[in-house]
Amino acid sequence: MTHIDAPATALTATGLTAAEVADRVARGQVNDIPVRSSRSVGEIVRANVFTRFNAIIGVLWLIVLAVAPFQDGLFGFVILANTGIGIIQEWRAKQTLDSLAVIGEVRPTVRRDGETASVATSDLVLDDLVEIGPGDKVVVDGVCVEADGLEIDESLLTGEADPVVKRPGDQVMSGSFVVAGSGAFRATRVGREAYAAQLAEEASRFTLVHSELRSGISTILKYVTWMMVPAAVGLIVTQLFVKDNDLRVSIARTIGGIVPMVPEGLVLLTSVAFAIGVIRLGRKQCLVQELPAIEGLARVDTVCLDKTGTLTEGGMDVTELRTLDGADETYVRQVLGALGESDPRPNTSLQAIIDTYPDAEEWRCTESLPFSSARKYSGATLSEGNGESGTWLLGAPDVLLEDGDPALDETERLNEQGLRVLLLTRTVRNLDDPDVTKGAQPVALVVLEQRLRPDAGDTLRYFAEQNVRAKVVSGDNAVSVGAVAAKLGLNGRTVDARRLPDDREAMAAALDDGTVFGRVTPRQKRDMVGALQSRGHTVAMTGDGVNDVLALKDADIGVAMGSGSEATRAVAQIVLLNNSFATLPSVVAEGRRVIGNITRVATLFLVKTVYSVLLALLVVGWQVEYPFLPRHVTLLSTLTIGVPAFFLALAPNTERARPHFVRRVMRYSIPGGVVAGVATFVTYLIARHRYVGEGALDAETSAATLTLFLISMWVLAIVARPYTWWRLLLVASMGAAFLLVLAVPWLQDFFALKLVGMTMPWIAVGIAVVAAAALEVLWKWVDRRFPV
């Protein structure tokens, strides 16, 4: 058999011998690019240890260890513990990603010693003969040696969406993928010389970028740094030079004022939350190739679904054969069997025909035209046993027939039942004729039934409940796709994409109005994603075929099926290795958990930063000693922020993801921090007037600590809402721990906390109660005045 694109090509190449392969391996001419689905252990350690705030805290810690008691240096050990937790969690996430990446790794087919075998990408050697077909990604650079209607999409390299026809002798670039036909190429550049090395690393890197959450936290930390510098300088000058105190005490109180300004645990906790999300999803066979994808899918408001492989299972069944114009059914069966045999890499529709109609041995294929999603038909020139030959086309009836043809009415009725219909026609034109479909004579309708995914209906209902709009975008007949969607409970306007306007604004309006879109070309899928994004929608695209790659690449979140083409898996941020569309709600839930919980705990961290900066400025303005030692800061941070934040960040959370992370966090943190700082300083000033003599400073500090703890606990109580039994237990446990410190003598001495008398402690409590009431009123006012 020959193909119209390569009539003289004979498939005779046998590939390398085992000895030649061994020789190239010995010489290092092997595709030895390691699979990198995650950061290395060294990168994880560096990212968690060598941070700006760790450097600040580390220097302060060393100073405290040199001049102050051991308990004033506890904050340093907390940082070590938190950093260790971050490293361990990301290392666990790395293991999960690495193991899942191996499961989803492509295994190219090579021809060696005249036989074909699948090998790992890293086992390819120079001059290997690699076989490729529809959906396969070219993993190394090479030269085409065999081509049977081979069309390769190089859009990921050149940006040009039109497939390029490849003939023997043409260059084949790694990173491109096959959209039609089949062939083989000889590897000319492997390993780090091939472009695939760069592409694979970019496609599968464990990234922490392009996330509103992380970029928002970076913005907050930048502002925090600007506030810290003048406050810290003023505090240092006041404590060391203005007040005539002991040098060691002055240094300790200076550091006690600087340390709480640093929200060091916020970045760490975000990384841990993301990493644990990766682990949880990994257990459900969901490979997250980029961490922000977890967050991104939670922000999605529109999901574009490819019907085949997403709403339906991969297989199909032939349910009926309807001959037209008196055609002989036995003869038609033979034609279909021969057509099936003509394609070495059949799609699901053709595979169903192959399974139903066995090959007629006396028939022979002399030329073939592989199926293309752009053409929507395939073809072959068949020689019958009696010597006669004919050219046949098999594809979409509405593409092969002129408008108004009687066969289209019957096709429409079948499509309305959710059935897929292929038309077999006989043409008098050659396969390489651009108008090969003109004048084609309809012979038979092949009726196929798609297998619906049992979990698709529940998943669509979940998205509807979450106000996420589902758009079915398929290359199949619009009526048929609409019927399938209706069976799954997805109702709405059905649109034939061939009638969609080219103008982006007009297309966006049509997309908002419609639900099911049929006869969508690969280029249109990409345009539809762009049109939706132009209206401010956050778009997720699911798919498994090569016709989905461009749209997956442009969508905010690309979701590929594990059984789909390697090209789709390469560009998608999320790969469902178990091919279950029902996994998507888990990804959405995980993203909402991360976003909602980090927003909660960010408020805790930044309230502390705001009141710390404010206290430092007030101390500088009043020319007094800073009220806290580092040990007091450690105790307060641990009980009101550190421990609660860890549990709150990992808790279930089904709140809808909302934008403007920085605004939402700061609108609570600033008033909360101001109230806490002012109330604490008022208690401190009152205590300074009530306590005199030896031990007065410790008594003043204890009273101020009590007020700040109670206010911080109220902030925690607000953030923990709505209450569940474990959240109430968490808040109560933190309060009980503080009471334990006040009640146990050796803990009093350790933390330098001892309430003196009865009046001042009750004044401290009273001020805290007033501040808590002010917080409630202020935050409700903020909700009304500054909605987001």
- CATH level 2 (architecture), domain 286-311+453-579: 3-Layer(aba) Sandwich (3.40)
**pLDDT score at 33:** 65
At 544-601, the pLDDT tens digits run 766 677 788 888 888 888 766 666 777 788 888 887 878 888 888 888 888 888 888 8
**pLDDT score at 242:** 62
Q: What is the DSSP string of 676-723?
A: HHHHHHHHHHHHHHH--STTHHHHHHHHHHHHHHHHHHHHHHHHTPSP
**pLDDT score at 10:** 37
- Adjacency order of strands within the sheet including 312-323: 312-323, 441-452, 420-427, 389-395, 377-383, 364-372
Comparing 79-83, 337-341, 398-402, 765-769, the range with the smallest average pLDDT is 79-83
Any idea what DSSP says for residue 73? G
At 662-716, the pLDDT tens digits run 888 888 899 999 999 999 999 999 999 888 777 788 899 899 999 999 999 999 9
Contact 632, 252 (CB under 8 A): no
Contact 359, 370 (CB under 8 A): no
Q: What are phi and psi of 211, to 5 degrees?
A: -130, 130
Query: Quick one: what percent of the chain has pLDDT higher than 70?
Result: 88
Which CATH superfamily hosts domain 211-279+588-785? Calcium-transporting ATPase, transmembrane domain (1.20.1110.10)
pTM for the whole structure? 0.66
**pLDDT score at 1:** 47
What is the rounded distance in angstroms from the CA atom of residue 755 to the CA atom of residue 738? 13
**pLDDT score at 34:** 53
Q: Are strands 302-305 and 469-473 parallel, antiparallel or unpaired?
A: parallel
For residue 151, what are its two tokens?
A: 């069309």
Query: Quick one: what percent of the chain has pLDDT higher than 90?
Result: 18
Task: Tell me the CA end-to-end span of the chain in Å, nearest whole number.
Answer: 65
**pLDDT score at 534:** 92
What is the rounded distance in angstroms from the CA atom of residue 411 to the CA atom of residue 422? 9
Highest mean pLDDT out of 15-19, 75-79, 771-775 = 771-775
Strand locations in 47-202, DSSP E? 109-112, 115-118, 129-132, 141-153, 164-165, 171-172, 177-189
Higher pLDDT among residues 265 and 769, named by residue: 769
Any idea what DSSP says for residue 191? G
Mean pLDDT, residues 629-649 taken together: 87
Set 5, 141, 306, 548: catalytic member: 306
**pLDDT score at 200:** 44
For the cut 60, the answer to whether the pLDDT of residue 51 exceeds it is yes
Mean pLDDT, residues 406-435 taken together: 84
Q: Which amino acid is at 49?
A: V
For the cut 60, the answer to whether the pLDDT of residue 198 exceeds it is no
Q: How confident is the model at residue 206 (pLDDT cuts 50, 70, 90)?
A: very low
For the cut 70, the answer to whether the pLDDT of residue 490 exceeds it is yes
**Size (the chain), residues:** 788
**pLDDT score at 138:** 86
Instruction: Write down the domain spans for the chain.
Output: 211-279+588-785, 286-311+453-579, 312-452
Report which of 703, 686, 711, 683 is spatially closest to residue 773, judged by C-alpha positions: 711
Q: How confident is the model at residue 765 (pLDDT cuts 50, 70, 90)?
A: very high
**pLDDT score at 265:** 73
At 140-194, the pLDDT tens digits run 889 999 888 788 877 656 545 567 888 899 999 887 888 778 889 999 988 777 6
At 33-45, the pLDDT tens digits run 655 445 677 877 8
Mean pLDDT, residues 507-534 taken together: 89
Q: Could you tell me where the DSSP H helices lie in 579-695? A: 584-622, 630-637, 643-649, 661-690
For residue 381, what are its two tokens?
A: 């020139």
Provide the mean pLDDT of the chain: 81
- Could you write out the three-class secondary structure of 359-428? CCCCCEEEEEEEEECCCCEEEEEEECCCCCEEEEEEECHHHHCCCCCHHHHHHHHHHCCCCEEEEEEEEC
Partners of 3 in beta bridges: 6
**pLDDT score at 546:** 64
Question: Is residue 5 annotated as part of the catalytic site, yes or no?
Answer: no
Instruction: Give, in order, the Cα–Cα distances in Å from 744 to each of 207, 548, 754, 759.
Output: 47, 66, 10, 21
CATH among 3.20.20.140, 3.30.565.10, 3.30.1300.30, 3.40.1110.10 for 312-452: 3.40.1110.10
What is the rounded distance in angstroms from the CA atom of residue 479 to the CA atom of residue 138? 36
Mean pLDDT, residues 239-263 taken together: 73
Q: What are phi and psi of 756, to 5 degrees?
A: -105, 125
Highest mean pLDDT out of 54-58, 102-106, 474-478, 740-744 = 740-744
**pLDDT score at 679:** 96
For the cut 80, the answer to whether the pLDDT of residue 243 exceeds it is no
Q: What are phi and psi of 288, to 5 degrees?
A: -95, 105
At 262-320, the pLDDT tens digits run 776 777 777 777 777 777 888 888 877 766 777 887 888 899 987 776 787 767 788 88
At 222-232, the pLDDT tens digits run 787 787 778 77
